[in-house]
Amino acid sequence: MRGPLAVGEHVLLVDRKRRRHMIRLAEGGEFHTHAGVLDHGLMIGQPEGITVRTTRGAALLVIRPTLSEFVLEMPRGAQVIYPKDLGPILMLADIFPGARILESGVGSGALTMTLLRAIGPTGHITGYEIRDDFADRARRNVEAFLGTDVPLDVQVRDVYEGIDVPDIDRVILDLPEPWHVVGHAEAALAPGGIFLSYLPTILQVSTLRERLADSAFGMAETIEVLHRGWNVDGMSVRPDHRMVAHTGFLTVARLLNPAG
């Protein structure tokens, strides 16, 4: 992630209209666009932030993608959780270096990558994903951004049927019926452990909160995150006209009275 751009790395090419293309640098590679061809050799060995030109003279800014940029550009199987919610999830679920996490479903792996970065090499994520094609897609996305040396084990299985990892610190869910996981999370989490669920509709939240109220979990909270960009251009300093109106709700709870 530092130093001159190297073969095998992903870079983001940004054109004058701020359109983005993510490519992987290859020896002898070429990037073809309607605005001409770009030789990868112009970027390999160069620092980030340079501007290069296609054969037809179009300027492209070359930058390494941040995690946020990568998850928005990477190939998707399932819909990803957006960066506006990924950051708050780390805080709400208090993800720490060394944490042991059960994550389900894994989907495209956007949340997985975010959690992996926060837990570092001493943590561990077990991911339960019901679809083997999504599990493969997620593994490939994680590898493309973080490499193969990551503490991640993605298993193809249904989390509604149970959690087979003892003594975990966090259960992080992005699936339609998380109330089926509350009982399994009670049994698998260490005391004080945190349960977090991302849900798109408030009726799902309501069902989950009722199930949590009837469990050993307490201190439940539900929030949504609103993110409004601003246009800052000379005298025109105002909120953007458009914003993403809705993604999902975040519900968090802590294991207070573990059974036994």
Q: Which is nearer to ligand SAH, 29 or 151 (CB)?
A: 151
Q: 52 burial class (0-12, 13-18, 19+ CB within 10 angstroms)? A: middle
Smallest gap from Cβ 76 to ligand SAH, in A, equals 7
For residue 73, how far is the Cα from the chain centroid? 12
Q: Which residue from 53, 6, 49 is spatially nearest to 27, judged by alpha carbons?
A: 6
Letter for the amino acid at 82? Y
Smallest gap from Cβ 160 to ligand SAH, in A, equals 4
Give the integer Cα–Cα distance in Å for 123 and 100: 5
Give the integer Cα–Cα distance in Å for 209 and 203: 10
3-state SS class at 114 = helix
Smallest gap from Cβ 256 to ligand SAH, in A, equals 25
Residues with Cβ < 8 Å from 143, sequence gap 6 or more?
A: none
Other Cβ atoms closer than 10 A to 49: 9
Q: Which is nearer to ligand SAH, 10 or 14 (CB)?
A: 10
Nearest-CB residue for ligand SAH:
105
Smallest gap from Cβ 72 to ligand SAH, in A, equals 11
Give the integer Cα–Cα distance in Å for 193 and 208: 17
Q: Which is nearer to ligand SAH, 31 or 249 (CB)?
A: 249
Q: Which is nearer to ligand SAH, 10 or 180 (CB)?
A: 180
Give the integer Cα–Cα distance in Å for 173 and 175: 6
Smallest gap from Cβ 74 to ligand SAH, in A, equals 9
Give the integer Cα–Cα distance in Å for 248 and 84: 10
Both tokens assigned to 31: 């990037």
Smallest gap from Cβ 80 to ligand SAH, in A, equals 4
Q: Which is nearer to ligand SAH, 174 or 186 (CB)?
A: 174
Residues that bind ligand SAH (CB under 6 A): 78-81, 104-105, 107-111, 128-131, 134, 158-160, 174-175
Give the integer Cα–Cα distance in Å for 114 and 233: 32
Q: Which is nearer to ligand SAH, 72 or 130 (CB)?
A: 130
Q: Which is nearer to ligand SAH, 60 or 92 (CB)?
A: 92
Is the CB of residue 251 less than 8 Å from the CB of residue 197? yes
Smallest gap from Cβ 169 to ligand SAH, in A, equals 18
